[in-house]
Amino acid sequence: GVDCQRINKVAEGRPHVVDLIKSDEISFIINTTEGRQAIADSFSIRREALQHRVVYSTTLTGARAILGTLDHQGPQPVWSLEELHGEIADKRGNPA
C-alpha cells in the first residue's frame, strides 16, 4: 500500500533521484547498490537525503522495517539518547 516509483540514479540520466530530492518531491528512498558506479552515486544521494531530511534505507529489509513501524504506529516522537536512558533508569528505579 505504498505509492512508489523507480527513479533514475545519478549515472542513469536526468531527471534523477538527486534532482527530485532537491525539489522536495521525495519523502522516502530505498537505494540498493551493486557495482562501483552505484556505490559512487549513493554518496550524493545520501548527502542530499540527509540535507533535505528524507528517510533513507540501503536495504529492502531496512525499508520494510521502517514502513512497518509507520504503518502500525503512526508518527513517533524523536527522543535523544539521554531521554531514553532516563526513561529506562526511571522504570528500573535507578538514578540516571
Per-residue pLDDT, averaged over 12-37, amounts to 88
Per-residue pLDDT, averaged over 57-83, amounts to 82
Which CATH number does the domain housing residue 71 bear? Answer: 3.40.50.1380
Residue 95: the pLDDT is: 65
4 inside domain: no
Per-residue pLDDT, averaged over 13-27, amounts to 92
Phi/psi zone of residue 25: left (φ > 0), alpha (ψ -120 to 50 degrees), beta? alpha
- Full-prediction pTM beyond 0.85? no
Per-residue pLDDT, averaged over 58-71, amounts to 85
- How many independent structural domains does the chain possess? 1
Which residues, other chains included, contact 71 with Cβ-Cβ below 8 Å and sequence gap of 6+? 1
5 inside domain: no
Per-residue pLDDT, averaged over 70-96, amounts to 78
Judged by DSSP in three states, 29 sits in strand
